[in-house]
Amino acid sequence: MNCLTVQERMKRLNSGLPIDRVPLLTNATVFSGNFARLTAEKFFCNMESMFHSQLMTRSLFGCHGAPSFSHVNWVGESLGSENTYANSEFGILIPQIKPIIKSVKDAEEFSLPNSLNTQVLKWRYEFIEIARANGFSKVAMTAGSVIEMLTQIVDVSLLFRWMIREPELVFKLCDQMAEYLLQIIDSDIKQYGVDNCIALFFYPMEAKGIMSPRLVEKYSFPYIEYMHQQLTERGVSNYNEHLCGNHNENLLFFKNLNLPSRTNFSLDEKTDLLKTSTYLGSDYIISGNVSTKILVSGSIQDVINECQQIIEIGKKLKGGFILAPSCDLPPNAPPLNLYAMNEAICKYGTY
């Protein structure tokens, strides 16, 4: 079954060439810290531990993809919001952010830092250097969505009220966030080279049932288009677009972005695999979308059955397919259920 190495398989997939079997991406970030029995502080604040715990998970479970800088809410923390690290009897808890902007006055007075020297950004650059020293040359650059990044510095309920009552204030903050992300992106491109950079976009706020379609069109879509335009002008050609939540009604918008061939669209379980591939066409890779609920609470056989159904659809997608959880692998997912994903590929994922 494994005629190709992990590296060969992904290289061929990204080039649009036939491969031997479906690849597996696990998005096992904080999960890896739990699996390695690290504390929250040891995982989030020690880059060697963050990297090597993910490398261990990757090796043990036959995963594709590189370890990633997994400091949750790092953009908000770098702009002054407070991140809290905590543990429970079950392991690491996802950090909770305390937004720095709590009032209209705070928003009006908010300004960007004069440098990219905050502690969390130092950790990010340290992680990148560790990864590159271990053969992972690609640098992941968070590029949006701008609205999603704003929720790391402004409380969500407050942001929603301002979208109705203080639109100019929201646009001001969006402009600042876009500028800040581009500052970091420009620094990455200068330091590592544009061909080594991958732009990451996450869209939980734009999903159905979170923001109204009217607010998405007013506040989100223009900045999504702007950020992609800016990246294109800078020569970025590698993209990963995560459609978090239900994006079935937004697919035409993403199609019209005209993203480069071999862009990877990773899907939530609420976004239809076949519909997405049909809308976007055969130039794009689709990954997903194993239910995180099943990965946490299902049996091994439940996971295998879920993966089988998804694999049987995914193998038919002309642009290529990767099996992956619908979002980050939950930290409390049983390790045997990660094994079950690989087992499903062994049984059903051969081309």
Domain parsing of the chain, residue ranges: 6-348
Residue 159 has pLDDT above 70, yes or no: yes
Contact 351, 20 (CB under 8 A): yes
Rounded CA separation 257/207 (Å): 17
User: Mind giving me the DSSP string for 324-341?
Assistant: EESSSPPTTS-HHHHHHH
Instruction: Tell me how far CA of residue 99 lies from CA of 47, 84, 350, in angstroms.
Output: 24, 11, 47
The pLDDT assigned to 98 comes to 96
pLDDT-derived band at 2 (thresholds 50, 70, 90) equals confident
Residue 90 has pLDDT above 90, yes or no: no
Residue 82 has pLDDT above 90, yes or no: yes
Identify the residue whose tokens are 């998970």. 57
The pLDDT assigned to 1 comes to 63
Give the model confidence (pLDDT) of 242-284 as tens digits: 999 999 999 999 999 999 999 999 999 999 999 999 999 999 9
> What CATH code is assigned to 6-348?
3.20.20.210
The pLDDT assigned to 3 comes to 87
The pLDDT assigned to 144 comes to 95
pLDDT-derived band at 79 (thresholds 50, 70, 90) equals very high
Give the model confidence (pLDDT) of 120-144 as tens digits: 999 999 999 999 999 999 999 999 9
Residue 14 has pLDDT above 80, yes or no: yes
Q: What count of Cα atoms within 13 Å lies in the side-chain half-sphere of residue 65?
A: 24
User: Mind giving me the DSSP string for 234-251?
Assistant: TT---EEEEE-S--TTTH
